[in-house]
Amino acid sequence: MTVSSDVAAYFEGLTRWREELLALRRIALDCGLTEDWKWRQPCYTFERKNVVIIGELSDACAIGFFKGALLADPAGVLDKSGPNTRAARDARFTSVAEIEAMESRLRELIEQAIEVEKAGLQFDFSDRDDIAMPDELRSRLDRDPALKAAFDTLTPGRRRAYLIVISGAKLSKTRTARVEKYVPKIMDGLGPQEW
């Protein structure tokens, strides 16, 4: 296996959760996934389709399933990572022993995720476009056709992320400041949390 320099540097630089993430990596690779480097984390793909991603959190490490909501998980191994998460699901661990205890279930979930990709299944995002565009963003987009075009070409998830983060401010002046803060990222096609 060829390891990218980014992935190698990531594992070499880990001070927490190193052994746990190496265990999750081994499982993903044993399931026949291809290792890649995306979003500053090791990502595992099947025929260039994102299947799982691993990474460190402050209180645990995690393996995230991009289309986890489409997987059968009667044991409840997977959770939403946050209240605004739609398709993704993850499993969090704090020890290699926990990972080893769940290894067979993780392998089953990865195999299911590969089958989801083989079948071309997609998560239906249309049923929850429930976040209204803040007036401050709408006004700014109306005044700047280039910004509107850039916003319209963002992925649905990135557009939704901006709606969430801008709408989260209570005051209009704060929402306006957030819009201005994110203009360069929108123009670069990035989401609010991307670099």
Query: In the prediction, which pLDDT does 3 show?
Result: 66
Q: Residue 78: count other Cβ atoms within 10 Å of its Cβ.
A: 21
Could you tell me which residues are beta bridge partners of residue 46? 49
Q: Is the separation of the CB atoms in 71 and 112 below 8 Å?
A: yes
Q: Are 18 and 57 in contact (CB under 8 A)?
A: no
User: Domain segments of the chain: what residues?
Assistant: 5-119, 129-187
pLDDT at 5: 86
pLDDT for 1: 56
**pLDDT for the residue 184:** 94
Q: Which CATH architecture has domain 5-119?
A: Alpha-Beta Complex (3.90)
Q: Say what the pLDDT of residue 52 is.
A: 97
Q: In what order do the strands lie in the sheet with 34-38?
A: 34-38, 41-46, 49-56, 61-65, 89-93
For the chain (195 residues), the mean pLDDT of every run of 10, in chain order, is 80 94 97 93 95 94 94 91 82 97 96 94 67 91 95 87 90 95 93 78
CA quadruple 59, 16, 1, 43: dihedral positive or negative? positive
